[in-house]
Amino acid sequence: MFIYTRDCDCDGNCELCSVTLTLHARCTGDEIMKVYARDLVVDPQRANKWVGNPVITDPDGLGPVIAKLRKGQELRMKCIALKGIAKEHAKWAPTAAVGFEYDPHNKLKHIDLWYEHDAAKEWPKSKYADWEEPAQEGAPFDYDAVPNNFYFEVESIGNLEPDAIIQQGIKVMQTEASCSPSGSYRGRVMVKLMVVDMMRLRVRM
């Protein structure tokens, strides 16, 4: 099991909370030599055989370019890969952008739309308006109504697919809700509702 460094009992890092990768490349030809992520060598001393493998998604199986070397140049490096979350540092964030929307027809009147002549023309509806029924003209306003559907758009930086980011996030919420000493029941209910909504979730790939 691969754990966070902050949860490990070691003094610095060990095979339970870190992965060591090494790279040695030397350019001997006249042409520029590209060094790719696939050239990284993973130390076998690790939690399992999947942890620490470079993320390679391109068709050629090369991975991102790490460096470019000219003739006579050499690169030696040792990398320590640690597990973390974006709350600690942005480098651990799998997303480039996340946006959400609810009530595309503004039936709840949470937004006061400023307009000059016609709000319907000056504020076109989003694509999510097709997924909900518009407000009936002349219908009484429901002061107790609350939003039930939330539409998320997730843009990945490439190391994880958007749907995988959503699913992993739900798993973390489930774990935290089950371990919470207070308010855990409410947390479990909220997570359960999110899992049900996954059936209707549409992720922009």
Instruction: Taking residues 152-156, report their average pLDDT.
Output: 89
Closest listed residue to residue 108, CA positions, set 163, 68, 70, 150: 150
Instruction: Taking residues 141-164, report their average pLDDT.
Output: 87
Instruction: Taking residues 109-136, report their average pLDDT.
Output: 88
Confidence band for 205, pLDDT divided at 50, 70 and 90: very low
pLDDT at 114 over 60: yes
- The packing angle between helices 162-179 and 184-197, to 10°, is 160
| Residue 72, pLDDT score | 95
- Whether 152 contacts 100, CB under 8 Å: yes
- Amino acid letter for position 41: V
- Separation of alpha carbons 195 and 205, rounded Å: 20
Write out pLDDT tens, residues 179-195: 666 554 444 444 444 44
With a pLDDT cut of 90, the percent of the chain lying above it is 27
**What domains lie within the chain, and their CATH numbers?**
5-83 (2.170.120.12), 92-200 (3.30.1360.10)
- Separation of alpha carbons 144 and 141, rounded Å: 9
Confidence band for 80, pLDDT divided at 50, 70 and 90: very high
pLDDT at 170 over 50: yes
Write out pLDDT tens, residues 22-77: 999 999 999 999 999 999 999 988 878 888 888 888 889 998 899 999 999 999 99
| Residue 35, pLDDT score | 97
Cα–Cα–Cα angle for 191, 194, 199, rounded to 5 degrees: 140
| Residue 152, pLDDT score | 85
